[in-house]
């Protein structure tokens, strides 16, 4: 079974995807980390985020530690959102994601275009969203827990900017698949959101 979990930044899709993976006993991929890894490579290599060629060259995971806390920083996230619009970058990462989705037994993947581009054949598709103000507060809390200095107004502006880029890019824009279940987590804590997603997935897969 393939489970596709899409949605904007800080909507809770990662938490939901991990809960679904545990519940169904499936491997999980946070596809956003791939783009963040490319962004971090670009930063460390002093590459130009405005150059699609430089970003494509940074699609090298040989030395990437996916547990590196730097992957979660706002600087890396901002660059990841920008370079994810480049067709060359997307082409370099698409097959890696599709292979993961189509492994024997299936998988859970979360991102922006799983249900529309990476695995349109997924048996279960969720589109997870929340109000921008709620998502900004969640991201701010996450940054503060990591010991990062941040302001709510700056985080909210970044969330809105990412939404704009993700939804209007030419290559694989963020959009709800026609057959995706909509889950608004604005008024839900992590446990309630996970429970709602599992219930929806169980009903769909049945």
Q: What percent of the chain has pLDDT over 70?
A: 100
How many angstroms separate the CA atoms of 127 and 104, rounded? 24
Averaged over 82-90, what is the pLDDT?
92
Assign 91 a pLDDT band (cuts: 50, 70, 90): very high
Instruction: Give the pLDDT score at 172.
Output: 85
- Chain position carrying tokens 């709800």: 176
Instruction: Give the pLDDT score at 147.
Output: 87
Rounded to whole angstroms, the maximal C-alpha distance in the chain is 50
Instruction: Give the pLDDT score at 141.
Output: 94
Domain ranges, residue 173: 2-205
Closest CA to 4 of 118, 169, 143: 118
* pLDDT tens per residue, range 168-197: 988 888 999 999 999 999 999 999 999 999
Contact 11, 128 (CB under 8 A): yes
Q: What percent of the chain has pLDDT over 90?
A: 84
Beta strands, E only, the chain: 2-6, 28-30, 107-111, 124-129, 181-184
> Domain count of the chain?
1
Contact 100, 116 (CB under 8 A): no
CATH number at residue 128: 3.40.50.300
* pLDDT tens per residue, range 40-83: 999 999 999 999 999 999 999 988 999 999 998 888 988 998 99
Averaged over 81-91, what is the pLDDT?
92
């Amino acid at each position: 079974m393939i489970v596709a979990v899409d949605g904007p930044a800080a909507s809770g899709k990662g938490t939901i995807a991990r809960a679904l993976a545990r519940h169904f006993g499936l491997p999980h991929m946070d596809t956003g980390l791939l783009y963040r890894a490319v962004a971090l490579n670009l930063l460390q290599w002093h590459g130009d985020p405005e150059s699609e060629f430089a970003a494509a060259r940074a699609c090298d995971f040989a030395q990437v530690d996916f547990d590196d806390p730097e992957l979660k920083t706002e600087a890396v996230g901002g660059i990841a959102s920008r370079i994810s619009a480049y067709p060359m970058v997307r082409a370099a990462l698409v097959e890696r994601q599709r292979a993961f989705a189509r492994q024997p037994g299936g998988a859970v993947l979360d991102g922006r275009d799983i249900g529309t581009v990476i695995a349109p054949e997924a048996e279960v598709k969720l589109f997870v969203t929340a109000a921008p103000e709620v998502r900004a507060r969640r991201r701010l809390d996450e940054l503060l827990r990591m010991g990062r200095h941040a302001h709510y107004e700056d985080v909210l502006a970044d969330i809105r900017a990412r939404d704009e880029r993700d939804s209007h890019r030419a290559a694989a824009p963020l959009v709800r698949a026609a057959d995706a279940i909509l889950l608004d987590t604005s008024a839900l804590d992590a446990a309630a959101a996970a429970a709602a997603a599992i219930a929806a997935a169980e009903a769909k897969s049945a």
